[in-house]
Homo-oligomer: A and B are copies of this chain.
Amino acid sequence: MVAMPSETVELRGHIIDSLILPKVLDGILTRGANFKIAEIRIGQSRVDQSYARIEVSAASDAMLGDILLRLRQHGAEVLERKNVQLAPAPTDGVFPDDFYVTTNQQTYVQFDAKDLLVESPMMDCAIVVDHDSRKARSVKFSEVRKGDQTVVGHQGIRVQPVQRETARTSVFQFNANVSAETPKTAIIRELAREFRQIRQANGTILVVAGPSVVHTGAGAHLVKLIEAGFVQRLFTGNGLAVYDVESALYGTSLGVNLERGSVADASRENHMHAINRIRQAGGIAEAVEQKVLARGIMHACVRHGVDIVLSGSIRDDGPIPGVTTDTVEAQRIMREKLRGVSLVLMMGSMLHSIAVVNMVPATVKILCVDIDSRVVARLTSQQTFQAVGLVADVEPFLRELVEAIEKAGSNSDRKPAA
């Protein structure tokens, strides 16, 4: 009998109830390989950590390597630790062959027999190690420079996945995906409490929003949320900005009167004239200054110091000044503005939300609200134990959230706007 290639891996932490051990064993079986549990110590009560040592054997080195890669992404650590392998980037913007592709989990690389924490964990990057400073960081294609020492293969890499906290104090611990057929009042109350806690701890809240926030008449609620100090950053596109301006200037959204309601005129004219007004003013902030723009979401953002990132898309009319039309540059700005964010509230925007989901570390809380259950499923699927998805109308959701935040606040210290 020929010896099959095998390796020993270790798992630590809340590996049972965070589903890490089951996923690891499942990953081994699904790929047709075998395991033997050499040792297992399961935390006896819920605050204890668990530990498992598992021997994995597979039919070929290639298959074993593939399996180890997956296990590492679930937090398994190969027992005989080796240094990471590095290779220089062959040219600007190109990684070496077989570069390691990052997840958004906290990751360590072993370098000179020491563990380096990879800075800015983010999906779909390479890891570049600086010999001198002994720092490792995740790097996008556009950021790599010729000669950068880049991690290749899978050796010497350790991923530490977000684990479910044992005390389920936060609604985000439940990783809930709340269907349209479920009462939302209670969960919105919970979320309101969470919003207040984050702000009391001086956390940063990012809103990612699409044009339907304006179309559905939810703009006024978002303005209140901004005024109450619960929005620090806003990522959106030309669409929401223009619809908001149109509604501020003409009372319509895509020609539909927001007061009189939907059964009306659907002209594109106000929309295009709104763009023209902002182009003439020189931009959103200028329009506010010139008092062309005196109400609405954009106005509230300018007045309350909310950081606005407007990213361009090929669907845009105009666009207005301030929209970053280069998509790579827009991604760079968003990555920068994601630093320090504690919670992302995504509403009615597929394009911008996917972009953000691709960039956030696994530790950031995500709240996704959309009337389309597939959008909610898509956006919450990557954030384990940190994402809440609600299939809901954006307008009544936001109205209720703002009311619940106000109500929660009236019983406690008022948090002044940032």
User: A-side interface residues toward B, CB under 8 Å?
Assistant: 16-17, 19, 21-22, 25-26, 29-32, 34-38, 40, 42-46, 66, 69-70, 90-91, 93-95, 97-99, 101, 123-124, 141, 166, 168, 171, 174, 176, 178, 180-187, 189-190, 212, 215-217, 253, 256-263, 265, 267-269, 271-273, 275-276, 279-280, 311-319, 325-331, 334, 351-352, 354-355, 358, 371, 373-374, 391-393, 395-397, 399-400
Q: Which of B95, B181, B190, B400 contacts A276 (CB 8 A)?
A: B95
A262 touches B182 (CB 8 A): yes
Count chain B CB atoms within 10 A of each CB in A46, A101, A261 and give the residue with the most: A261
- Output the nearest chain B residue to A262 by Cβ-Cβ distance: B182
Known: A36-B45, A327-B312. A256 touches B183 (CB 8 A): yes
Min C-beta distance of A125 to chain B, whole Å: 9
Contact B314 A279 (CB under 8 A): no
Q: Quick one: given A29-B168, A267-B69, A396-B396, are A94 and B279 in contact (CB under 8 Å)?
A: yes
**Which secondary structure characterizes the binding site on chain A?**
mixed
Contacts of A42 in B (CB 8 A): 37, 40
Closest to A92 in B: B279
In the assembled complex, how far is the CB of residue A75 from the closest CB belonging to chain B, in whole angstroms? Answer: 15
Question: Which B residue sits closest to A180, measured CB to CB?
Answer: B371
Cβ-neighbour of A314 out of B29, B36, B317, B327 (below 8 A) = B327
B43, B253, B314, B373: the one contacting A37 at CB < 8 Å is: B43
Q: Which of A36, A38, A91, A269 has the most CB atoms of chain B within a 10 A radius of its CB?
A: A269
In the complex, are the beta carbons of B314 and A319 less than 8 A apart? no
Q: Is the CB of B313 within 8 A of A314?
A: yes
Q: Find A17's partner among B29, B46, B279, B399 (CB 8 Å cutoff).
A: B29
Q: Which chain B residues lie closer than 8 Å to A19 at the CB level? A: 19, 22
* 19 A-B contacts (beta carbon < 8 Å): A29-B166, A37-B43, A90-B280, A97-B273, A123-B268, A141-B275, A182-B256, A182-B262, A184-B216, A186-B258, A186-B260, A186-B261, A187-B261, A312-B328, A315-B351, A316-B327, A373-B373, A393-B393, A395-B396
In whole angstroms, what is the CA distance A122 to B48 when docked? Answer: 39
Q: Which residue of B101, B269, B272, B393 contacts A396 across the interface (Cβ within 8 Å)?
A: B393
A37 shortest CB reach to chain B, Å: 5
Across the interface, name the chain B residue whose C-beta is closest to A90: B280
B212, B269, B327, B397: which contacts A101 (Cβ < 8 A)?
B269
Is the pair B393, A180 in contact by a Cβ cutoff of 8 Å?
yes
Give the docked Cα–Cα distance between A176 and B190 (Å). Answer: 33
Contacts of A166 in B (CB 8 A): 29
Residues of chain B contacted by A189 (CB below 8 angstroms): 261
User: Is A46 in contact with B69, judged by CB distance below 8 angstroms?
Assistant: no
- Are the C-beta atoms of A272 and B101 separated by less than 8 Å? yes
- How far, in whole Å, are A325 and B329 apart by their CA atoms in the complex? 9
